[in-house]
């Protein structure tokens, strides 16, 4: 799934070429968008702003019309110079905007809707987002406050699900979820009621640090904003070796980079997303209301492939 930093990069690149420009052509593979375009044509409207809110990308047009897309698993926005060959087939196109010299194309976005400012505010499936980890206004104190509020309102929520919850903090995806919990030494299945202020601070700080670092990485390695695709270059360790770029994500059964214990994985949360953790670096701590039993499926033993060398 594209993470907040990817959507942010897409929004930034789109903003750079689209802001202030007039739409000269619009096309869509979705009937519900075509109907709106028939009634309230896009051609002639000025693109006012492009913003990301967590996983959502919003293109604000003059005359109170907003094109909202959510990438989910498969979607992406590409930018092309007019006349340039598209990297994805035309039948994957879901929305297409042309301005002078440029084309912006949304491929395979499963969710695309038009809104007015008021319908957007009412739409419950477009959540009011928590503090955006990539906004200039975000501070770790905002993040801690958001986590504390969640712990008070939902003390039984598991921390890794909360890290993914865009209404709490906006921007983290499934990869960072595991990485952030590892960094803070927090078992991802621990209840919010067990998370200390110090652990919240660590998670709030490192979430912002990693997302920002990866945004910078992306723009420098692609050498500009010409084409936006999902790169796999997220990095949380400081290793220069591409293979060692993550602490635990995707490393089930491999040795923890810190302690050598074997990394575990279990599905978690409403979407049954894969969660990875080190059982030694991230010890299980039950909530006061729980038994001392670890969650089902947790074998309790810390396996090590080797000790020492
Ligand atoms: Zn470890």
CATH number at residue 222: 1.10.8.50
Helix (H) or strand (E) holding 276, with range, is: strand 273-277
Q: Are 114 and 168 part of one and the same domain? A: no
pLDDT at 4: 66
Q: Are 116 and 200 part of one and the same domain? A: no
Beta-bridge mates of residue 50: 59
Q: Are 65 and 181 part of one and the same domain? A: no
Helix, strand and coil percent figures for the chain, each rounded to 5: 30, 20, 50
Mean pLDDT of 166-188: 93
Q: What is the DSSP letter of 290?
A: S
**List 2, 131, 188, 279, catalytic entry:** 2
pLDDT at 308: 46
Helix spans in the chain (H): 4-18, 31-39, 117-122, 140-153, 159-164, 174-184, 197-221
Q: By three-state DSSP, how is residue 62 classified?
A: coil
Query: Is residue 293 a part of any domain in this protein?
Result: no
In the chain the first and final C-alpha atoms are separated, in Å, by 37
Q: Are 91 and 211 part of one and the same domain? A: no
pLDDT at 158: 97
The number of residues in the chain equals 309
DSSP strand pairing (102-107 vs 56-61)? unpaired
pLDDT at 98: 97
Say if residue 173's pLDDT is above 80.
yes
Q: Are 89 and 154 part of one and the same domain? A: no
Q: Are 220 and 255 part of one and the same domain? A: yes
**Nearest to residue 159, comparing CAs of 196, 115, 125?**
196
Say if residue 72's pLDDT is above 60.
yes
Q: Are 80 and 51 part of one and the same domain? A: yes
Q: Are 160 and 60 part of one and the same domain? A: no
Residue 263 Cα to ligand 1 midpoint, Å, equals: 8
Q: Are 53 and 152 part of one and the same domain? A: no
Q: Are 105 and 202 part of one and the same domain? A: no
CB distance 247 to 257 below 8 Å = yes
pLDDT in tens, 189-225: 999 999 999 999 999 999 999 988 877 654 433 434 4
Q: How far, in Å, CA of 166 to CA of 168, rounded?
A: 5
Q: Are 147 and 90 part of one and the same domain? A: no
Structural domains of the chain, count: 2
Last residue of a domain, one of 89, 122, 155: 122
Lowest mean pLDDT among 129-138, 219-228, 265-274, 294-303: 219-228
Mean pLDDT of 252-256: 97
Query: Is residue 309 a part of any domain in this protein?
Result: no
Query: Is residue 304 a part of any domain in this protein?
Result: no
pLDDT in tens, 262-279: 999 999 998 899 999 999
Last residue of a domain, one of 122, 150, 184: 122
Residues with Cβ < 8 Å from 272, sequence gap 6 or more?
A: none
Q: How far, in Å, CA of 47 to CA of 17, rounded?
A: 10
202 a catalytic residue = no
Q: What is the DSSP letter of 245?
A: -
Query: Is residue 282 a part of any domain in this protein?
Result: no
Model confidence band, residue 121 (pLDDT cutoffs 50, 70, 90): confident
55 a catalytic residue = yes
pLDDT at 73: 72
Last residue of a domain, one of 70, 90, 122: 122
Residue 273 Cα to ligand 1 midpoint, Å, equals: 21
Model confidence band, residue 181 (pLDDT cutoffs 50, 70, 90): very high
pTM: 0.69
Q: How far, in Å, CA of 201 to CA of 25, rounded?
A: 47
Query: Is residue 299 a part of any domain in this protein?
Result: no
Q: How far, in Å, CA of 123 to CA of 125, rounded?
A: 6
CATH number at residue 84: 3.20.190.10
> Angle between the 197-221 and 174-184 helix axes, to the nearest 10 degrees?
130
Query: Is residue 297 a part of any domain in this protein?
Result: no
Q: In what order do the strands lie in the sheet with 47-53?
A: 47-53, 56-61, 65-70, 111-115
Residue 278 Cα to ligand 1 midpoint, Å, equals: 5
CB distance 188 to 160 below 8 Å = yes
Say if residue 297's pLDDT is above 90.
no
**Nearest to residue 204, comparing CAs of 174, 168, 234, 239?**
168
Q: Are 169 and 271 part of one and the same domain? A: yes
Residue 262: give the domain boundaries: 140-277
Q: What is the 3-state secondary structure (H, E, C) of 144-183?
A: HHHHHHHHHHCCCCEHHHHHHCCCCCECCCHHHHHHHHHH
Please list all protein residues whose beta carbon sits less than 5 angstroms from ligand 1, which is an ion.
Answer: 256, 258-259, 261, 278, 280-281
2 a catalytic residue = yes
CB distance 279 to 208 below 8 Å = no
Query: Is residue 130 a part of any domain in this protein?
Result: no
Residue 192 Cα to ligand 1 midpoint, Å, equals: 22
Residue 281 Cα to ligand 1 midpoint, Å, equals: 4
Query: Is residue 198 a part of any domain in this protein?
Result: yes
């Amino acid at each position: 799934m594209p993470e907040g930093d990817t959507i942010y990069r897409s929004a930034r690149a789109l903003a750079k070429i689209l802001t202030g420009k007039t739409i000269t052509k619009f096309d869509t593979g979705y009937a519900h968008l075509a109907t709106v375009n028939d009634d309230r044509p896009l051609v002639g409207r000025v693109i006012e702003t492009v913003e990301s809110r967590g996983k959502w990308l919003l293109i604000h047009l003059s005359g109170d019309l907003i094109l909202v897309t959510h990438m989910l698993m498969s979607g992406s926005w590409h930018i092309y110079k007019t006349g340039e060959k598209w990297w994805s087939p035309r039948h994957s196109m879901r929305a297409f905007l042309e301005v002078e010299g440029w084309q912006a194309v949304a491929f395979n976005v499963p969710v695309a809707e038009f809104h007015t400012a008021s319908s957007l505010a009412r739409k419950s499936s477009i959540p009011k987002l928590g503090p955006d980890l990539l906004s200039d206004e975000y501070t770790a104190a905002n993040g801690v406050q958001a986590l504390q509020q969640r712990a008070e309102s939902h003390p039984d929520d598991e921390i890794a699900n909360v890290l993914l919850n865009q209404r709490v903090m906006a921007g983290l995806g499934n990869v960072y979820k595991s990485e952030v919990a590892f960094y803070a030494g927090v078992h991802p299945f621990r209840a919010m009621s067990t998370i200390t202020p110090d652990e919240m601070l660590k998670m709030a700080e490192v979430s912002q640090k990693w997302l920002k670092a990866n945004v910078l990485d992306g723009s420098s390695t692609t050498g500009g904003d010409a084409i936006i695709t999902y790169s796999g270059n997220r990095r949380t360790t400081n290793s220069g070796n591409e293979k060692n770029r993550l602490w635990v994500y995707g490393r089930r059964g491999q040795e923890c980079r810190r302690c050598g214990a074997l990394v575990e994985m279990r599905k978690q949360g409403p979407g049954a997303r894969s969660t990875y953790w080190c059982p030694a670096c991230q010890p299980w701590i039950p909530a006061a209301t729980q038994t001392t039993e670890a969650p089902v499926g947790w074998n309790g033993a810390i396996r090590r492939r080797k000790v020492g060398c």
